[in-house]
Amino acid sequence: MSPAQLERVLKTGLRRSVRLERDADGIRTVVKRFASRGLVAASLDRARAAAEHRMLTELFERGLAVPRPIGCERVEGGWEVRMEWLGESPNAADLLAGKARWPAGRRAGLRAFANLLAALHAAGVDHADLHNGNALLGASGRAFAIDFHKARRVRALRERTLLRDLVKLCAGARELTTARERARFLLDWRAALPRELRPAASLAALARELEERGREERVDCVHKRRARWLRDGTACAAVDGDFRGFVRHGVDRERIARLGRTALARGAGEFAGLAEPDVLLVTGASARIARRIWCSAARIEEHGLPGPRPLALSLEPRPWVALAMPPHALPATVPQALRSLRSLHSLGRLCASLFDRSLRPAPAIGPLFWIAPRGEVLLGTLGALRRERRAPTGLDAVRALSLAGLSLSDLPRRERAAFAAGLLAGSRLAGAARRALAIELRHGG
């Protein structure tokens, strides 16, 4: 039989890569390759590959929803685990982001993921790297778990391990789901667990803890993921041509390089300007500041906030950053620029989203907010996102407006009502907290 042919690379990283292969009979298989750099790390590749193959074999034989293992062998200086291809099964992250269609509907899909998590917990699987990218949903609506090289089996999982997995999944989904959906997921998971494994805390107390810990976990996770935007990998590609730096996958490199040269030709004294209606070029900053701007734009995107999207970062020979913005957006240089009813409503939604994510923007260079042609308020590009240490149990309307240099007392009734409506629409508060906020806004904060 002729050797299998590479069909495409599914994932690549510093130590691991995953590819899809097809043999002469048209049968597809997934190959996970462990090939670390350095003698110490490379010496552990065999153990990691063997652990994954062993765990897959054990779980597959027990009837759990995991890929069928095919083999484990050393190939060209690395170790490879070959396993069944589950078809074009989207992961939970892509489903929640709207990048793929739910086979049997969103509610059924979330229930399938909850049942999968409960089945892993009932089998004593300490996955250690369970997130929404490692849970797939097949065409039949059955959920599968993947990526077991860090997993281990224990006789009985501790309650803190169960909660850790729930927090990780909640953190990855909280900006793409409602509080009601997360509560339903928790209920489905608990109902599918064996009684002896169910946490002692009430569902209400458990839900509150998960929301609080999930919010903090999400902030930490997105902050750590900035490293993905400063290396060649799944987020962007390293380049070394007209400039040395990084370009987001799918971006026209020649166009971006041309825009960068044009911006630099205008002079290094200009910090920001629209190179084209939908591209913002930032020049005149040091390499350190350019890197910070690039990473801040990446965090804005990963948090699902309206604002810039990273396109390219040049570190040498001269620093510049290219960011995607809605066409013809303009900086809000003075608070009065945000006083239209549409913009105040949008500002309220944005402030509520920031508080929900425990974030507070810190201006560094340029305006904090931009305005799209239809009045949508966007985060500025040149500041940093700082963690809001104050617990977001409610929303302080005065504090929210102060981000834009405004206050409730400055706004006439109609403008205050527009801001309040946006703040309520963007908040994820429920019950008494939501009613208290409505009263606070009605009486002027």
Residues identified as active-site: 129
Query: How far, CA to CA in Å, does 211 sit from each of 114, 195, 236, 306?
Result: 17, 23, 31, 23
Q: Is the dihedral of CA 189, 193, 195, 197 positive or negative?
A: negative
330's tokens: 């303009």
Q: 152-153 and 78-84: which strand pairing?
A: unpaired
CB 380 within 8 A of CB 328: no
118 phi/psi in degrees, rounded to 5: -65, -40
Question: What is the C-alpha to C-alpha distance for residues 72 and 83, in angstroms, rounded to an integer?
Answer: 9
Our CA angle for 387, 296, 181, nearest 5°, is 60
CB 51 within 8 A of CB 79: no
- Say how many CA atoms lie within 13 Å of 306 toward its Cβ: 21
CB 184 within 8 A of CB 106: no
Strand-by-strand arrangement of the 369-371 sheet = 330-331, 369-371, 377-379
Name 361's bridge partners. Answer: 385
Cα 393 → chain centroid? 23
Encoded amino acid at 344, one letter: L
78 phi/psi in degrees, rounded to 5: -130, 175
Nearest Cα to Cα of residue 104 among 137, 141, 157: 141
Encoded amino acid at 185, one letter: F
Q: What is the DSSP string of 250-313?
A: T--HHHHHHHHHHHHHT-TT--EEEEETTEEEEES--HHHHHHHHHHHHHHHHTT-SS-EEEEE
Name 387's bridge partners. Answer: 359
Residue 228's SS3 state is: helix
Nearest Cα to Cα of residue 11 among 221, 251, 231, 233: 233
* H or E stretch covering 80: strand 78-84
